[in-house]
């Protein structure tokens, strides 16, 4: 099953983000985005919770499979890399809650 999202970055023009869950590939404006397996899992988890903050602990459980992660900066580092690779700031940091993907589903 493929999930397609329309992402509205802070700029005036929207970018289209398509996530092919079967092929494990993300496309930004039709071009494949070179994501690692972990970055794709993180993006997929955020996409399944559009516009809802997801805590670091929940992301570690869902995207990494960690049960009791403790204190780690892994999520923050991967979010930073993901933002850079996507090329727009649609992943927001929600103070004391985690991260959310600001998007609107297209199909």
What local confidence, expressed as pLDDT, does residue 16 receive?
Answer: 76
Find the helix or strand (DSSP H, E) in which 75 lies.
helix 74-86
What local confidence, expressed as pLDDT, does residue 54 receive?
Answer: 94
What local confidence, expressed as pLDDT, does residue 82 receive?
Answer: 92
Q: How far is CA 36 from the centre of its chain?
A: 12
Mean pLDDT of successive 10-residue stretches along the chain, which has 107 residues: 58 69 85 92 90 90 75 87 84 92 68
Q: Give the CA-trace dihedral at 13, 18, 19, 25, to 10 degrees.
A: -100
What local confidence, expressed as pLDDT, does residue 97 receive?
Answer: 93
- Tokens for 32? 């494949």
Second-level CATH architecture of 2-105: Orthogonal Bundle (1.10)
Cα(60)–Cα(43) distance, integer angstroms = 12
What local confidence, expressed as pLDDT, does residue 24 receive?
Answer: 87
């Amino acid at each position: 099953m493929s999930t397609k999202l329309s992402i509205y970055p802070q700029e005036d023009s929207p970018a289209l983000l398509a996530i092919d869950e079967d092929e494990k590939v993300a496309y930004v404006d039709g071009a494949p985005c070179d994501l690692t397996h972990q970055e794709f899992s993180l993006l997929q988890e955020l996409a399944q919770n559009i516009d809802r903050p997801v805590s670091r602990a929940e992301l570690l459980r869902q995207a990494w499979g960690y049960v009791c992660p403790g204190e780690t900066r892994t999520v923050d580092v991967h979010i930073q890399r993901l933002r850079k690779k996507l090329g727009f700031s649609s992943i927001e940091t929600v103070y004391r809650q985690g991260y959310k993907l600001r998007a609107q589903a297209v199909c």
